[in-house]
Every structure is written in C-alpha cells, then in structure tokens.
Structure 1
Amino acid sequence: MKISVCIPIYNFDVRELVDDLKKEIKNQSIDAEIVLIDDASEENFRQINNELQNKVEQFVLLEKNIGRSRIRNLFLNYTKGDFLLFLDCDVKIDDKNFLANYLKEIDQNRGVEVLYGNFKIDPAHSGTLRNRYSIEKEIFSVKRSSDFALLKTVNFIIKRNVLEKFPFNEVLLNYGYEDFVFAKTLEFSKVKFSAIQNPVIHFDDASNEDFLNKTKTAIDSLCLLLQNSDNEKFIKDIKVYRVAKKIKNIKMKSPFLFLYSLLEKKIVMNLLSKNPNLKYFDLYKLGLLLRKMQ
C-alpha cells in the first residue's frame, strides 16, 4: 500500500517538514512518496524551497493561485498512492512514527476510508486569537471519535478513490468552510471515518488583525455558499449561520445590527488585544454575516 504525502505550499518554508518525513520513510522502509504543489508563493519562498526539487517525487510550481479547495483536488493528477495524506505546509512532525501510526490504524481499522489525526499548537503562539480559537474550538482531546465535525484539512489521510468520488468544492476559492463542506459531503455519503490522536504541531503565527481579515474572507465564502439553496444541507449546522438565520427569522436582524454597531469598536479592540475574548469573536462573526445576509 503506497501513501502519497501531499503538501500544498503557500508562503512557507517546508524544508524541515519534508526532511522529517523523508527520515521516517527511509528509517522505517515505508512505501511513500512526497508531492509538493506551490500555490503561487512569493519568490523568496520559492527560492527557499527550491532545494527540495530533487528530494521529492514531484514539486509543482503554479503561476497563479488556485485556492485551498482546487489545489487539494489537483494532487490527484500528480500522485500514485492508494491513500493521500494531506498536511498543511505550516506544520511540524511531532512523532518519529507519524506515518507508521497512520499505517497501523489503516491495517487495524479495516475498511476505514478517511482518518483525521488532529493537531497541537506551537506554545510560542498559543495566546493569539487564532490559536486560542483552535485550542478551545477545534482541537479534540478524546482518544478516538467518528464525529465528522472534527475533520480539518491540516492533517488527514484519505483513500484515493474516495477523494476522486467526493472532491473538494472548487466554488470555494478562498479561505473558509471548505473543510466543513468536505466533511459533510463525506458524512452524507456514509464514508467510513475515524478521528485519532496522531497530531502534528501547527505553527500559525498570524496576528490577531490578520486572523480577523481571514475571518472576513471566511464569512464571504459562507455567503457564497448561501447563494445556492442546494448548499443548505451542508451549512445548516454551522453555528454562526444557524444563529444568524434564527435572528433573521424572528425579524431581529435590524435591532441586533443596531446594538452591534454600538459595541463594534469595543469588540474589535478586544479582539486585537493580548487577551481576546472568544465570545466577542462569536459576536464579530455574527455581525459580519448578518450584514451580508439578504
């Protein structure tokens, strides 16, 4: 059984990540390949990663950024593995048996088609808004789960024919909710899924301001999904959408937005501070969405 390690790159140095993966592949004689696709990174990052050209099976350089969904589907064109292991470029391997752990789980959990391995936060950046959100809302602590809501694209392995049948939604070109829609698609299709503890360390040093800007992009992605009623089944369980829809249905959208406008400056100031409150972050997302909802 061959594994294709798929790393989409955007403005990040992946040399250490690739070296650690290659060490395990060599030391444990694992049948695996490493494939990199650079999504039109800045020239300095292309130069940094250029030395990997002869260290991996494929290193594809895109001249135009194609987005988080399409680039993951594109790996199907450049890989040969029975399973595709997707890793975000800004992660670090935390266990010398990382690949072996996945292989062991596939061998023991017969019929499993998708595995999610979780992630940890680099302690140096644990206080930022982005990473506080991850710690409280995204990282799970149980040993094992079959809850598709846990699935994130940072570190997961999927059977090749499953991704071919259920690719990422390429309408979502930008950041936000592509992993949620993907997980729901797999869940509705009754794909066999497990979330296990085989984490990577996530190095996200985005400032609070940068994360708020990414959040605006994510809400734009959600609004894009709202334009097609067929997407209702995918997004109806997203908390911010569920709350916004309820507020709108009881005709409280205008009163809410009036009160939010009075508090908005205070909310944003808190979210940009060294001690951001996640309840304020929920209100921030809700305000963004309600302003855009028709």
Structure 2
Amino acid sequence: MLSILIPAYNINTTLLVKELYNQIIECNIEFEILVYDDGSKSSINITNREINLLKNCTFKELPNNIGRSAIRNLLANDSKFENLLFIDAGTFPKKKSFIRDYISLKNKNVVHGGMTAMDETPKPPFKLRWVYTKKRESKKGLHSCNFFVKKNILKKNPFDETLKKYGYEDVLFFNSLKKKNIPVYSIENPVIHNTDDDANTFIRKNEDAIENLVRLINDNKLEKDKVGISKYYYQLKKIKLDRLLINVFKILKPFLTRNFNSSYPSLLLYDFYRLGYFCLLKTKK
C-alpha cells in the first residue's frame, strides 16, 4: 500500500530506515522500503547492506552515478505500490506519527511535509547549512526531500533527468505540477535535516544548483522572472550594474568564504554570493 523511497549517496541510512520501519509496522499495512545508493562505492554501504535483513526492505547499490533526478525516477519505477513517499537520506522524521500522518492523507495526489533544522546549533564550519535550513527551508518552498505522491502522477511528471548535479530538480518538478493544476497539499510533518555539509561543501552545491538554474532558464524550462535570483540579475542588467556586481563579487569572495566558515555566517552575504555567481555565469554564456 505504501512504498517508501530513499535516494542516497555515501551516507549511513540504517537509523532512518529502522525508524521508518518501526513506524510503518505499527500501521499494519502493506509496505516496502527501497534505498538506492547512487554509485558512491562507499565503505559505508557495508553497514547499509544490513537493511536487506529487514522484512520488505531493500538496499541497492547502483554501479554508476545517475544523478539526483534519475534515481528518484528509478525508485518510483521499481516500486510496487501506487502510494509513494520520498524521503532523503540525511534526514529523520520529527514525529513518531510521521508515517501515520501521511497514510491518513493517502487520498491526496501530492502531499508535502516540509523540513526543519536540528535543535542543537552546530559549530562552524557546519553552521551555515543549519542556519539556512532553520531560517529559509523550514519556512517556505517545496522540497523533494519529504513528500508523498501517487505513482501515476510522478510517471506523468517525472524528474528531469538532464539535471545530473545538485539543485532545482525539485523546483522544476513542483513547477510542472503547478502548470498542470495538480494541487500540492502541505502539512506540518517535517523531517529534520542533518548538518553534515560544511560551509565549503554547501557553497559548492549551491554553485552546482546555480549552474542548473542558468541552463534551465536558457532552455526555457524555467521562466527567468519566476525565480528570485534570476529576477534580480535581469533587474541589474537592465540598469547595467551586473558587471559591477561581478567585480565586487570577485573582490569579496575570500571575505565571503571566511564568513561562511565562521560562527556567525550571514544569509545576506550568502544571497549576495549566489547572485554574484549567477551574474558571473550569465556573462560567460
């Protein structure tokens, strides 16, 4: 009745799977839990293989990395049931009723549960990711890290497999649902995001995401005035300030990096970094 689908890469998922397993056993329904590692070839997978010992649970190691979009589509295609629940590795349900709350809404086509940050503040250089989750991701937006969807909906609206790297695959997916007037029902049923990404790793992921965004806009898959960072760029370009911002960005980059790794990372400076990097990429096109 419910397929729980967990895309993973180089991460221990056993605690997450055991929590989900215990919750769904209490619901007394048919289920499966599929965890696919996207070709990480990590020694951590020795531990992850213990998942196969649990009833109706499968841990599979892909021979090659296929990307964040393709692995979600693959999990959906391999699933047995019409009800799909996607949960990212590196998260953990906040509530003991997490699975039960989703099952109660099984008649909905798409349900988004949200994300929240860990209660404990991490030390630098892990604080930037935590602050971003706490102040931004937990407040707004739709994320593919925690959502329920009917299999037929996903198969008709798959994740864009041309996106191999991190970023904007969820924006594109939920945007496609919106264009087809498929409602997304939001509830307060969050997963807690861990803080395993240090500041430099998180910034590199953001650069990957911005590269995806530039390509999606160039390919007319996302409208340039519908995404904040792109909208600001075109406003700057219109008044011929985009190149000035690029020069300032290049000068300040070492200072920005130090701030991101500090005890007081600034989301304002984080926004400036992302805009500066976007402008830089656009001038190269």
> TM-score, normalized by length of structure 2?
0.92
1:160 is aligned to 2:151: yes
CA distance in 2, matches of 1:276, 1:225: 29
Residue 276 of structure 1: how far off its partner (Å): 0.7
Alignment-mate amino acid for residue 169 of structure 1: D
Matched residue SS, 2:53: coil
Would you say the 8 A contact 2:86–2:145 is kept in 1?
A: yes
Superposition deviation, residue 83 in structure 1: 1.3
The Cα shift of 1:11 comes to: 1.1
Cα distance in structure 1, aligned partners of 2:42 and 2:269: 37
Match of 2:243 in 1: 254
Q: What CA distance in whole angstroms lies between the structure 2 residues aligned with 1:81 and 1:265?
A: 50
RMSD: 1.7
User: 1:91 touches 1:202 (CA, 8 Å); kept in 2?
Assistant: yes
Instruction: Provide the C-alpha distance between the structure 1 equivalents of 2:179 and 2:29, rounded to a whole number of angstroms.
Output: 33
Paired position in structure 2 for 1:241: 230
Cα separation, 2, equivalents of 1:268 and 1:57 = 42
**Change beyond 3 A, Cα 1:257–1:210:** same
Q: Which amino acid aligns with 1:67?
A: G
Q: Structure 1 residues 209 and 125, CA, compared in 2 at 3 Å: closer, same or farther?
A: farther
TM-aligned CA deviation for residue 124 of structure 1? 3.6
1:115 to 111, 115, 119: 111
Query: Would the aligned equivalents of 1:58 and 1:78 in 2 still touch at CA under 8 Å?
Result: no
Does the aligned pair in 2 maintain the 1:6–1:34 contact within 8 Å?
yes
1:52 CA drift (Å) = 1.2
Aligned to 2:258: 269
Structure 2: how far apart are the matches of 1:90 and 1:211? 14
Native 8 Å contact 1:126 1:132 kept in 2: no
How many residue pairs end up in the alignment?
279
Residues 166, 186 of structure 1: 8 Å contact kept: yes
Task: Specify the alignment match of 1:200 in structure 2.
Answer: 191
After TM superposition, list the pairs within 5 Å mapping 1:16-35 onto structure 2: 16-35=15-34
CA distance in 2, matches of 1:203, 1:97: 20
- Runs of 5+ in structure 2 lacking a partner? none
* Aligned position for 1:231: 221
Alignment of 1:1-294 (within 5 A): 2-55=1-54, 56-107=56-107, 112-125=108-121, 128-140=127-139, 150-228=141-219, 230-233=220-223, 235-293=224-282, 294=285
Deviations 1:111-141 (A, max 9, x none): x21101112212345561112111111113x
**1:199 shift after superposition:** 1.2
Letter in 2 for 1:27: E
Return the letter of the residue paired with 2:235. K
Most deviating of 274-283 and 211-220:
211-220
CA distance in 2, matches of 1:123, 1:266: 28
Compute the displacement of 1:241 (Å). 1.0
CA contact (8 A) 2:83 2:150 kept: yes
Distance of 2:146 and 2:247 partners within structure 1: 41
Query: Could you list the runs of 5+ residues in structure 1 that have no partner in the other structure?
Result: 141-148
| Displacement of 1:202 | 1.4
Whole-angstrom CA distance in 2 between matches of 1:70 and 1:161: 17
Contact 2:172–2:222 (CA<8 Å) still a contact in 1? Answer: no
* Separation of aligned partners in 1, 2:251 and 2:281: 18
Provide the C-alpha distance between the structure 2 equivalents of 1:21 and 1:50, rounded to a whole number of angstroms.
Answer: 16
Q: Is the 8 A contact 1:4 1:34 kept in 2?
A: yes
Of stretches 180-189 and 98-107 in structure 1, the one that deviates more from structure 2 is 98-107
TM-score of the two chains, using structure 1 as the length reference: 0.89
Deviations 1:18-77 (A, max 9, x none): 111111222220222111111112331111101112324433220111111110001122
Letter aligned with residue 14 of structure 2: R
- Answer yes or no: is the 8 Å Cα contact 1:174–1:218 preserved in 2: yes
**Aligned equivalents of 2:40 and 2:89: distance in 1?**
12
Give percent identity, aligned residues only: 31
